[in-house]
Copies of this chain bind each other. A is one copy, B any other.
Amino acid sequence: ANNSGSNKHLTEFLDEMRSDQIREHLRKFTRLPHLAGTEQNLKYAEQIKKEWQEFGLDSVEMVPYDVLLSYPNKTQPNYISIVDHLGNEVFNTSLAEPVPEGYEGVSNIVPPYSAFSAKGQPEGDLVYVNYGRTEDFFQLEREMKINVTGKIVIVRYGKIFRGNKVKNAMLAGAKGIIMFSDPADYWATGVQVDPYPDGWNLPGGGAQRGNVLNLNGAGDPLTPGYPAKEYTYRFDLVEGVGLPKIPVHPIGFHDAIRLLEKVRMNIHTNNQVTRIYNVIGRIRGSLEPDRYVILGGHRDAWVFGGIDPMSGAAVVHETVRSAGRLLSKGWRPRRTIIFASWDAEEFGLLGSTEWAEDNAKLLQERAVAYINADSAIEGMYTLRVDCTPSLHTLVYDITKQVTSPEEGEEGVSLYESWHKRDNWTNDRNAPRISKLGSGSDFEAYFIRLGIASGRARYTKNKKTEKYSSYPVYHSVYETFEIVDKFYDASFKRLRAVAQVRGALIFHLACSELLPLDVMEYADSLRKYAQSIAQLAQRHQDEMETYMVSFDSLFSAGENFTVAAKGFHERLQTVNRLRVMNDQLMYLERAFIDPLGLPGRPFYRHVIFAPSSHNKYAGESFPGIYDALFDIENSADPEKSWDEVKRQISIAAFTVHAAAMTLTPPA
């Protein structure tokens, strides 16, 4: 038998992870700006490669791709002007954020900009559209009868992914869009929090960088579906996936309050094909080298990346260090572990998606699970986990073994601490776990390839802290110091996150029987089916008129439950470990439809997809959901209900097909 997955080794692995080490990793990799495609980000890649080798990984390689990135023009800055009736610029927004103390001499701080914005200098009336959500535009057009065609819109950041705001503005006919950080959304309230550097709130001169693509999982806009290698065919820019057709620009709230009803945008940002670098490290599995467990997170940052992503990268670094120590003592995991430092996540998950495209065949046949390692902290309250249902049980088991990092909770498990702070729902007495949406590098692995995936980080109190993400998100104020002083002075929270992420990959790589729970998937499927059917009940009359029924989906869910139960029972008397492990591994794959979702060919998971209205949110049964959403705006209800029926049929089939994979193979 194989004792590489023993509790003794797990304990050693987790105990070896040290707060001071995580602090040191974070300090080391946040001294200089390291935007994707820059010299400094390559230097950090080389340093990570070297250190992973020293830590003892079996192999570490740099994997380059040539992808479309976007940078401000160095000689022609981007800004917004108020123009008078003669066309003179009487006010201009700031060209950069005030640099934080201690970083005054640093060069290569990219000013706030919207990556992949169209170039242009549109001039026109300014219309405020709240958060720029679908419903905000509907309200403007339907209730307030305001047409934004030919106008420039200004929206608040928050609630939804900024790319969705830009898409909505384009659909509404706007010729430019300005996004600003409203203190209502980027200031913590309740307790008194000062702006950085005295606290962790966003200064009035700070602004949020970010890409404004609508890629829907395509990766590099010029090479959708294929890795961006040297020989790869590239589409022309005009055919590129998800590129906005209008100028876009982000500003801080000091500038926002100055803008009047008529403005000119001055945007000179350039798209350019640029080389990026993933770092890929491996530990070869002893018994199942062709089964892969992946821990991946990005390295590129808008500026210093104090929180996003280096709080996560430091955790990965410490995980590699600890695994290396175990290796040096003779331990080896049953399965292969792959560690990834992704590049260009900020430009549309490019590094991780290109590598997934490059390795799709291997991953499809061999990948057991993908654990994401972006920012490890976004608040100071408790744990946050988003994952596939089959990982629920493992997450609970693991958090019972890890200690709470909170002061005064010595001897309390992370599970208990988390449960106390964020109980799932009224109908389940357990800590809340959410669906995966998108917005980080798990996307291609989960939504395109159907690999069981999860993520874990420390978060804020969602009930009382109403700001979006965290105040200084994507600003120059994301420094090492903001973590060291405010978010996690003891680095115990980051250590707890490291232990959760580490224990996940340890169990997935070392357990004889894969720790994936098919009964949890069955429960979730039935719950999602109920919930989407309930949504449809809003239109009960029409459902009768057009004879729409969810019975086939309910029946598929019941059938899946029967298959899952049978499978679960056979596990007790398992004598064909490989066969059953393959069934467990391939269950998630069974939800993949190669035809993809309507209009989103790279979103192929029938059960989960990022919401069409907000990339960050996960939607269950997204095909049905989107078809139902269209009902309310449809000129041809019969046709729209037909699409609902088609999507129900695809969902029912997919759940049946997945159930088949759990029955005895012959």
Check if A578 sits within 8 Å of B579, measured CB to CB. Answer: no
Q: A558: CB under 8 A from chain B?
A: no
Check if A362 sits within 8 Å of B660, measured CB to CB. Answer: yes
Nearest to A587 among chain B residues (CB) is: B361
Report copies per complex.
2
Give chain B residues whose Cβ lies under 8 Å from the Cβ of A362: 660-661, 665
Give chain B residues whose Cβ lies under 8 Å from the Cβ of A590: 361
Task: Please report which residues of chain A, range 353-370, place their CB below 8 angstroms from some CB of chain B when the two chains form the complex.
Answer: 358-362, 365-366
User: CA A336 – CA B229 in complex, angstroms?
Assistant: 40
Check if A649 sits within 8 Å of B365, measured CB to CB. Answer: no
Q: A666: CB under 8 A from chain B?
A: yes
CB distance from A284 to the nearest CB of B (A): 4
Check if A361 sits within 8 Å of B660, measured CB to CB. Answer: yes
Task: Please report which residues of chain A, range 214-253, place their CB below 8 angstroms from some CB of chain B when the two chains form the complex.
Answer: 225-227, 229, 231-233
Check if A229 sits within 8 Å of B653, measured CB to CB. Answer: yes
Check if A665 sits within 8 Å of B336, measured CB to CB. Answer: yes
Known: A232-B653, A601-B595. A284 touches B361 (CB 8 A): no
User: CA A229 – CA B650 in complex, angstroms?
Assistant: 11
User: CA A389 – CA B590 in complex, angstroms?
Assistant: 29
Q: A5: CB under 8 A from chain B?
A: no
Give chain B residues whose Cβ lies under 8 Å from the Cβ of A642: 233
Check if A366 sits within 8 Å of B657, measured CB to CB. Answer: no
A666's partner among B290, B579, B648 (CB-CB below 8 A) is B290
User: CA A589 – CA B601 in complex, angstroms?
Assistant: 20
CB distance from A450 to the nearest CB of B (A): 10
Nearest to A661 among chain B residues (CB) is: B361
Give chain B residues whose Cβ lies under 8 Å from the Cβ of A233: 642, 645-646, 648-650
The contact size tier of chain A is: 35 or more
Known: A225-B595, A595-B601, A649-B233. A586 touches B361 (CB 8 A): yes
Give chain B residues whose Cβ lies under 8 Å from the Cβ of A366: 665
Q: A500: CB under 8 A from chain B?
A: no
User: CA A521 – CA B600 in complex, angstroms?
Assistant: 34
A365's partner among B225, B290, B582 (CB-CB below 8 A) is B582
Check if B282 sits within 8 Å of A657, measured CB to CB. Answer: no
Nearest to A232 among chain B residues (CB) is: B649
User: CA A589 – CA B365 in complex, angstroms?
Assistant: 10
The 4 closest A-B pairs by CB, nearest first: A290-B665, A233-B649, A289-B666, A231-B552
Given contacts A232-B653, A233-B649, A365-B586, 8 further A-B contacts (CB under 8 A): A58-B666, A226-B650, A231-B652, A290-B579, A292-B666, A361-B589, A361-B658, A595-B601
26 contacts between A and B (CB under 8 A): A225-B593, A226-B649, A227-B653, A229-B653, A231-B552, A231-B649, A232-B649, A232-B653, A233-B645, A233-B646, A233-B649, A282-B666, A284-B666, A289-B576, A289-B579, A289-B664, A289-B666, A290-B579, A290-B583, A290-B666, A292-B666, A359-B657, A362-B660, A362-B665, A365-B365, A365-B582
